[in-house]
Amino acid sequence: MEVALYGFVAVVVFLVILLLFPSGGQNSDIQNRLAQLDGADPSVSQAAAVAAEELNKPFIDRVIRPFLSNLAGRRDPNEIRKATKSSLRKMLSMAGYPGGLTVGEFVVIQNLFRVVCPAVAIALGVVFKWATMKLVMAGFFGLIIGILGPRIFLQRKIGARLHAVTRQLPDILDLLTVAVEAGLGFDAACDKVVEKMHGPIPDEFSLTLRHIRMGRSRRDAFKDMADRLEHPDLSAFVSAIVQADQLGVSIGTVLRIQSDQLREKRRQRAEEEAAKAPIKMMIPLVLFIFPNVGLVIGAPAVFQIMEVGDVEGK
């Protein structure tokens, strides 16, 4: 029994190593080029190039993603409730579809975590010879981690993405303002943002511009972008752009006003964080620094009092 469990743990460690350090042939391009120069059959060399390209992909793209897609494809779409599917799609959209996950693949990951986490916890308990009650508790906590883990991961991705939007939006509005005032159209200015900057907002701009070029109206495309992120500052910016487009107001003027407002908000947020710093520092001061200072100051006095008491007692 223990040998099987040790083997299971070894397999898990091996898979983790493969995930962290994906293998790939670094010399495949050179070998393919040499094969072409040697006069190899073009069809054979092309097939070899395709195979080499497939092998050069990370382990996740070669094995894990096809495995998840296969399991997701076997599930009946009606098994996922409409409300759950809509909620997961919304959360994945706000998180930027990490790893290109679809709703079905994320559901498969959730189910795998609910099975694997308790199994690993119980297996570790058996390896270390825990008591029965400890095994039950380990399985219970493993199940909780398996249920909450994927959701917590997704929530953290959403929080990090919204924080990146908050930090990046004022700079992007400055670039948009400069580009529009220099004579570019609004769509061309958005293209310039996509070209010059990286992050969640340029990614969303790129998707929005593709929707516009496919025939969707600018108002609907930008409203969809605001709905995907649900960020208050971005929603206010989109509302101002839509109103300016409807009323015929100069986009440059609207962008200048929005840019000034967001810079002011960023300054206010910085002042707020600076005001919170003393309160946040109070907890480590009280718990870790003040006791040590009191010990350094008070310990000599305590020792002197003890020595005086010993002398008087004698």
Domain coordinates of the chain in residue numbers? 162-267
Q: Report the mean per-residue pLDDT for the chain.
A: 80
Task: Give domain 162-267's CATH superfamily.
Answer: Type II secretion system (T2SS), domain F (1.20.81.30)
Query: Which tokens hold the place of 92?
Result: 């994945």
User: So what's the pLDDT on residue 23?
Assistant: 46
pLDDT mean over 218-230 = 91
**DSSP state letter for 98:** G
Neighbours of 21 (CB within 10 A): 9
**Do residues 28 and 52 make contact, with C-beta atoms less than 8 angstroms apart?**
yes
Cα dist. 43→30, 48, 49, 53, 269 in Å? 18, 9, 10, 15, 61
CA distance 306 to 303: 5
Q: What percent of the chain has pLDDT over 90?
A: 34
**Span 98-155, pLDDT tens digits:** 888 888 888 888 888 888 888 888 888 888 888 888 888 988 999 999 999 999 999 9
Is the model's pTM score more than 0.75? no
Q: What percent of the chain has pLDDT over 70?
A: 72
Cα dist. 177→183, 226, 266 in Å? 10, 19, 17
Residue 189 has pLDDT above 90, yes or no: yes
